[in-house]
Every structure is written in structure tokens, then in C-alpha cells.
Amino acid sequence: MSEMISFDSATFRRVLGHYPTGVCVVTAVESSGAPVGMVVGSFTSVSLDPPLVAFFPAKTSSSWPRIEAVGKFCVNILASDQQPLCRQIAAPGPDKFAGIVHRVSANGSPILDDVVAWIDCALDAVHEAGDHYIVLGRVVALEVDRPERPLLFFQGSYGEFSLIA
């Protein structure tokens, strides 16, 4: 059953923009050895048993099909001082990883230097959801590298969380 929608996409974005999201970079290494990455602002834990996480790439993403083909990925949670790295990975271009220092996880995915934390995953499932996909990753390893404030996206801008004493 479909209901009449009484708002447009701009209103939808404006209202949901009042809810802050963390900023992550999902990374993988293609069979050619080339690293691939995409910025995601919608990432969440899903299940403890089994350990599952999810993110939601747009169907128009050019990076997601490349990551999906690998079948495994690492979610890198960015720190509040990593906005330049975020912008570099988000920008279109052939070499998003130029000058970006990283190491390779035991699962074979890039872990970016100085991230707050990383979650290494095997691709568990992909579901269609409107103009996006719901991607479930089965967590195989994870760690906090730098317990700092995460980079947040809120009302169209980047920022950080401030603790209230």
C-alpha cells in the first residue's frame, strides 16, 4: 500500500540533517592491488551475535560496485581532524589514495592511519532499499587505534562532538 507523500526530497534532507552522523571511509583492495574507498555517513552496528555492521551506499556510487566485487572491506571511523582525508576520498578521481598512509588488515583491506577505530568485515549481504543499498558486513576484526573525537556530519557541515561536564 502506498501513501501520499506530502513533502519533497529537499524537506526530507533538511529534516534528517538535524540528526548527526559519524563519517567513515569504507576501503578494500581490488584484485589488481589498487585500493578503493568511499565515504559513508550512514553506518551502524546491527547485531552482536553474529557481529554485524551496516552501511548504505547510493546505487549511483561508482566505488561501491568495486568494493562489492572484492567481497570484504574495512570501515575506518574518521577522527575530527581528518576532514581533509574525508574530502580527498570523497572527491572523484582515479587515485583517491595518493599520499594517504595506510596499512593492510589481516583480511586484506586498507586501515587508514590515525583513524579513531576500524572494523574489518566480510561482505555478508546486500539488500536493495530505494535509491540505496543496505550492506551488511560480518565483523572479523576490529580495534580502536586513536581514542579521539570522531568526525561528524550535521546540517550540511563537518564538526565534532563536545562533551558536557
**110 φ, ψ to 5°?**
-65, 130
Which pLDDT does position 158 carry in this prediction? 78
Which pLDDT does position 2 carry in this prediction? 59
Under a CB-based contact definition with an 8 Å cutoff, are residues 164 and 86 in contact? no
- What is the SS3 assignment for 65? helix
Closest by Cα among 147, 70, 72 to 114? 147
**Angle CA(132)–CA(101)–CA(142) in degrees, nearest 5?**
60
pTM for the full predicted model: 0.92
**pLDDT over threshold 90, residue 164:** no
Residue type, 61: S
pLDDT in tens, 47-81: 999 999 999 999 999 999 999 999 999 999 999 99
pLDDT in tens, 113-131: 999 999 999 999 999 999 9
pLDDT in tens, 135-156: 999 999 999 999 999 999 888 8
